[in-house]
Amino acid sequence: MSKKLQPEINIGVIGHVDHGKTSLTTKLTNTNTDKHSDEIKQGISIRLGYADTCFYKCKKCSGLQAYGVSKKCILCESDCEIIKKVSFVDAPGHETLMAVMLSGATLFNGAILVIAANEPCPQPRTQEHFSALKMHGIKNIVVAQNKIDLVTKEQAQENYKNIKKFLKDEGYEHVPVIPTSAHFDVNIDALVYALLETIDTPDYKTKEPLKMRVVRSFDVNKPGIDISKIKGGVLGGAILQGTLKKNQEVYLYPGIKKPIKLKVTSLSSGKDSFDEVRVGGLVAVGTDIDPVCMFGDRMAGQLICDEKSKPLVGSRMQIKYHKIERLLESNQKPLAISENVVLIIGTAANIGTITKIKGNEIDIVLKKEAVYYPKEKIAISRLINNRWRLSGYGEIK
């Protein structure tokens, strides 16, 4: 039996629509052999796609080709050793799903920014997704310059220069750019190597109070199930701080009208179950809560914490607003009193109305209660030409 490993990190796969995020994720995760149930896969695909994989290295061989995502070495066919288990979070690149990407960015330890070699760089979502990473202070990024099979060598080199310039202008010249072709399996080994070099496993602050962001919630019971066999609702998400144990009593914030106390009945990641989980990849938490409350991602955006976590809950907040200058459509008018904005607070989307503006200090009344921490950064989108566009971020006071 193989050893049970919880994924150590979440790697976001981001970038403009059609640049090859899903194709690359498939190559990196050998999705054909993926063990997630179809139900989980389907549920997640409308929100954040996600899949776990292991990065391997051959013990006997050296060089880039010794790295990969399969157990057998492609050079000598001997068994490779696992270096790290990771979760990939495939963020939708379509503009209408920007909020989904932004809520996922809260969970990323690092990211692959996929940029197609056959289009000018940056495309609108390349810039917007990149700005979201920057806002969260995520520096551990690898660019996959994908679809190199569609361009000539000269075009690929020209495009590579443009990507490098884009990164330099953003102050990210350290970011490696790996030319890839998801279609022809080109440089997947180099991409794995770059990810290992670039994205470290964070320190596990296991002594800190628990903080887990929920991205999904579901009812796992089949219709017509015998009432004695009904299982409680399941919460899926990532632990940002602390650990979570089986049978532990924790709280769900903001809950429904008030925080909900719940007992952890099971913990799993992929097909493995655990007695304890910690900071890292996505985990599913079984609870003793009525599954009806969890149905259809109803609890997405909530926070799981213990008595020591002390989050704030409220429907008003004061923020310091920072406009993101580089966004393509950000030659915006100043924010106005009574303007509605979309806020992503942790993994939760909310709508707020601006009630007061004093310099860059802004008061907002939220449509529904939010759970947050002081100094937390939240993404702010404005309605520009009838579309919600990321315009900046706020730091909660």
Kindly state the smallest distance separating residue 37's Cβ from ligand GDP, in Å: 22
By the rule CB under 6 A, 287 interacts with ligand GDP: no
Q: Which of 211, 231, 201, 186 is nearest to 309 (CA)?
A: 211
Of 7, 12, 20, 254, the one binding ligand GDP by CB under 6 A: 20
Of 164, 183, 205, 245, the one binding ligand GDP by CB under 6 A: 183
Contact partner, 47, from ligand GDP, Zn ion, none, Cβ < 5-8 Å per class:
none
Q: Which stretch binds ligand GDP (CB under 6 A): 40-48, 142-150, 192-200, 319-327?
A: 142-150
Kindly state the smallest distance separating residue 64's Cβ from Zn ion, in Å: 12
By the rule CB under 6 A, 119 interacts with ligand GDP: no
Which residues in the 163-182 window bind ligand GDP by CB under 6 A? 181-182
CA-to-CA distance for 33 and 21, rounded, in angstroms? 19
By the rule CB under 6 A, 85 interacts with ligand GDP: no
CA-to-CA distance for 383 and 103, rounded, in angstroms? 18
Contact partner, 365, from Zn ion, ligand GDP, none, Cβ < 5-8 Å per class:
none
By the rule CB under 6 A, 97 interacts with ligand GDP: no
Q: Which stretch binds ligand GDP (CB under 6 A): 29-37, 141-149, 214-222, 309-317?
A: 141-149
Query: Quick one: 159 or 302, whose CB is closer to ligand GDP?
Result: 159
How buried is residue 253: exposed, middle or buried, by Cβ count under 10 Å (0-12/13-18/19+)?
A: buried
Q: Which of 144, 115, 133, 180 is nearest to 10 (CA)?
A: 133
Residue with tokens 């279609």: 183
3-state secondary structure 283-344: EEEEECCCHHHCHHHCCCCCEEECCCCCCEEEEEEEEEEEECCCCCCCCCCCCCCCCEEEEE
Query: Quick one: 82 or 184, whose CB is closer to ligand GDP?
Result: 184
Kindly state the smallest distance separating residue 176's Cβ from ligand GDP, in Å: 18
Query: Quick one: 123 or 302, whose CB is closer to ligand GDP?
Result: 123
Q: Which residues sit opposite 344 in a β-bridge?
A: 349, 379
* Ordered DSSP codes for 61-103: --SGGGEESSSB-TTT-PBEEEEEEEEEEE---SGGGHHHHHH
Instruction: Give contact residues for ligand GDP (rule: CB under 6 A).
Output: 15, 17-23, 93, 114, 146-147, 149-150, 181-183
